[in-house]
Structure 1
């Protein structure tokens, strides 16, 4: 191939990539201008027919998938995804920063427990609630997928377990990451059926219980095995951190294009990893579903046939997770059929699963960015006065401008576009033929379209409170 031909192909590829991003941004503006979505008891108002709004969002992802398929220059794809800049971090710096970070986190956790029991029993004025849900659930997770995984440097439970006698039993290799999946399901369930955001004392008990669980697990099988396989928090941040531009290496940090890590084969290595990744998408969908009118109707219907509310929520959690996971695994089987490849459906499921992490990041940002920004004044007030909090009126929410709601739609669609691009790059790693690579993506893009339309549908709904969960 001549240099001029190569430059021409790269120009076409660059234009297609730019057009993909442009379509996404343009649709964000068009859709978001008609939607105002509130994350805390607000309402989403769609001034165009809902079916047209959802169809537009789904069409954006389908269009971005088709446009990305125009980028078939393997050298260009490799050039984009392999670019990196090494940021050295001396071993001594890493060691002491880790110790300092873990010590600070341990102090914060102790304050969470103490203030949860002794502080004001009002979620919006509680150090415990604000730090856990605004600082960690929202802010720290955003740091993971927007910057890089911060958890290894601040994990206090691993440090405690490492200082104790540990490694009494060998972690069963066949278990893979299924304990982390089960533990995350349990955490999601507890968050749904208990008033953690409204009752600081309940949250303090939950933090104590999880701390005991995390330390006991790390002591039993050893900190390294536990963090890698059984700890849902470490797995949570490891997967979200894979989306970020900063990736830790043996020499320090590597600055890369966002999402570049998602094409690598060593990120998702077992079906338990696939389940965890899908669960990250489902838990955000579920948290939005249960506070919208359709979710309230489903829960009330289940309770109406005689199920206790706690059983109804458990059934909804597990059934929805099974549906999301089943849809993804079905896409993997269809991908194998369309690509006519010797690669197994299981292997395709493993390789394409990391692209869903971009979707999870977009969902998380849509759910929590406005919440985080609006609660920043209260979080700062709590951090400055953890032991002697002022009266609740001192804890104020930042009033956001009306256009802020447009960002929710932008975040959802941007996450999906990045996911489509990551899946596209992965397909060209797997298949030698361009047509074969393109055909393999179609079932996964179809699943992404379905996820997009569902998430946008939820964003268009008014939101309330979780039925039958009392503070």
Structure 2
């Protein structure tokens, strides 16, 4: 049997294990995302929760063990290096102009319709374009196919035509402004009536526009939209998971996730923090819309804390927990690999695989959301100022829970494989490379169990949030 056929058999076994985990989780529907005062899912498992979670965690552990059997560096390198380049010199300028114009027009559309259009979330094209079109569908497109955001980005397009470059971006800031801004947006998405009040949404969009255009003008668009603008970093990181990647000469087709093995995806500690926020924010949105989250919030409010402060505290506390767990794993990796590579360097190199996990989480939260509200988006776009009285929504079939669980598990399996490839790039010895992966596999199993547990719970309405 050839080495490649042996690898294929192991991959097939991993897929079979994933199918078993999906089958065990029959009947599960993802907890409603918070963006969604627009949509709520149902939940519940048809098997004992402990069996469901053990099976999901077992899939990740088994996939890690099978992956570690692949020690041929030629096969590992081929996953990372194989690519098909596509030159788009003649189409680049035209495509950029078309997408850039579309981006600016969409921004203006959201602001105008938000202020003067109907003031009910489900009937507002501004709300649906923001949450269904941007938060859900554009993000899914970015990690499933390739990110169009560099060409679409309306704020960068505006900042580029204004005088800019008045200040030098402090290197010590790294991506921290984007981290802080993203945490703020996640918090506002929950405590402000953005999905129910189009005017409130439009006001936040205007404020965000002023903030990020000012950053682009002050520090140059190239610098700001790579490091300081949260949406640009968001789409750049999610886009790194996709099979289609932008290059200086055009496009490049690679294996899904192969880009995550490059050493220029995450380059400093602040970028590690942004990756962890992407993983945590989806777990957070599931937590606050389930019974344990609601009870936690109610208990803290009962002792006299303002609800807005409670939600902010839970957001920051959960992020701090993920941060601590990740750095403990980096330190354990350094110890087990017996390497002189620093903990900081190992944390940076092993962070990109977590983007595959974030993509799996995002798909589980937003795939059904997008399908359900897609007809409403089309209806309101056709008549944004006078939408139909009852925009159409699709009801999801009971088996769609299988798809959501598969998204989570496949994201983790891909992350395990990429971590394996990174470890063989970092360490010369096979045993050293394999041992270095153990702590991060444990972290991935932890993330898997937490995520699957939240997905398994029935969705409830978050308390003390604007309706």
TM, length-normalised to structure 1: 0.96
Q: Counterparts in 2 of 1:38-117, with a 5 A limit?
A: 39=32, 40-90=39-89, 92-117=90-115
Q: Which residue pairs with 2:281 in the alignment? A: 283
Q: Counterparts in 2 of 1:46-445, with a 5 A limit?
A: 46-90=45-89, 92-386=90-384, 388-393=385-390, 395-445=391-441
**1:32–1:407 Cα contact (<8 Å) kept:** no
**2:24–2:47 Cα contact (<8 Å) kept:** no
Structure 1 spans left out of the alignment, 5+ residues: 1-6
Cα distance between partner residues in 2 of 1:402 and 1:269? 42
Superposed displacement of residue 80, structure 1: 2.2
> What is the CA deviation profile of residues 420-456 of structure 1, one whole-angstrom value per residue up to 9, with x for unaligned ones?
1111111111111111111101100100001000011
> What is the CA deviation profile of residues 37-63 of structure 1, one whole-angstrom value per residue up to 9, with x for unaligned ones?
463433312222211111111111111
Cα distance between partner residues in 2 of 1:58 and 1:281? 17
**1:117–1:204 Cα contact (<8 Å) kept:** yes
Cα distance between partner residues in 2 of 1:399 and 1:54? 27
Cα distance between partner residues in 2 of 1:37 and 1:183? 26
Superposed displacement of residue 371, structure 1: 0.6
Cα distance between partner residues in 1 of 2:211 and 2:30? 37
**1:32–1:410 Cα contact (<8 Å) kept:** no
Superposed displacement of residue 22, structure 1: 2.5
Cα distance between partner residues in 2 of 1:332 and 1:57? 23
Q: Which residue pairs with 2:25 in the alignment? A: 32
Superposed displacement of residue 159, structure 1: 1.3
Secondary structure class of the residue paired with 1:87: strand
Q: Which residue pairs with 1:3 in the alignment? A: none
Whether 1:468 aligns to 2:464 is: yes
Structure 2 spans left out of the alignment, 5+ residues: 33-38
TM, length-normalised to structure 2: 0.96
Secondary structure class of the residue paired with 1:253: strand
Secondary structure class of the residue paired with 2:166: coil
Superposed displacement of residue 396, structure 1: 1.1
Secondary structure class of the residue paired with 1:85: strand
Q: Which residue pairs with 2:17 in the alignment? A: 23
Secondary structure class of the residue paired with 2:399: helix
Cα distance between partner residues in 1 of 2:389 and 2:166? 47
> What is the CA deviation profile of residues 280-299 of structure 1, one whole-angstrom value per residue up to 9, with x for unaligned ones?
00000001110100001111
**2:31–2:290 Cα contact (<8 Å) kept:** no
Cα distance between partner residues in 1 of 2:278 and 2:389? 33
Cα distance between partner residues in 2 of 1:348 and 1:189? 30
Matched length? 461
Cα distance between partner residues in 1 of 2:71 and 2:374? 44
Secondary structure class of the residue paired with 2:245: strand
**1:10–1:76 Cα contact (<8 Å) kept:** yes
Cα distance between partner residues in 1 of 2:447 and 2:389? 39
> What is the CA deviation profile of residues 201-254 of structure 1, one whole-angstrom value per residue up to 9, with x for unaligned ones?
110111111111111110011101101110101000000000000001111000
Give the CA RMSD over aligned residues.
Answer: 1.3
Greater shift, 36-45 or 117-126, is seen at: 36-45
